[in-house]
């Protein structure tokens, strides 16, 4: 298994490839497909950053559960904000 600087360079290269995929998706796709692709790519990039650069892969199980709980809570907040915005009568 690769350790040290080689692993960091590999993750950095993967993030650059995902950045290029984001730019390509924004240029090629339009509408809901563009939004979906951008959010999916952003989630993958965030996962790589959490797992490798924030060392979540090296932590114990409880820390991983807390990180998943924080992500779930953020998702709930976004869902409730989106529901509030969608149900307003001013549009």
Give tens-digit pLDDT for 22-78: 999 999 999 889 989 999 999 999 999 988 888 888 888 899 899 899 999 999 999
Neighbours of 17 (CB within 10 A): 11
Q: Is 2 helix (H, G, I), strand (E, B) or coil?
A: coil
Predicted confidence band at 15 (pLDDT cuts at 50, 70, 90)?
very high
pLDDT reported for residue 1? 61
* Cα dihedral: 26, 33, 45, 12 (round 10): -40
DSSP letters, 16-61, are HHHHHHHHHHHHH--THHHHHHHHHHHHHHHHHIIIIIS-GGGS-H
The answer, as to whether pTM is greater than 0.85, is no
């Amino acid at each position: 298994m690769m350790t040290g600087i080689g692993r960091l360079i590999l993750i950095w290269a993967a993030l650059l490839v995902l950045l290029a995929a984001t730019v390509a998706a924004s240029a090629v796709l339009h509408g809901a497909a563009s939004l979906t692709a951008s959010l999916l790519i952003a989630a993958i990039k965030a996962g790589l950053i959490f797992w490798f650069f924030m060392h979540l892969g090296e932590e114990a199980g409880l820390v991983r559960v807390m990180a998943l709980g924080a992500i779930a809570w953020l998702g709930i907040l976004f869902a409730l904000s989106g529901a509030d915005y969608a149900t307003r009568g001013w549009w």
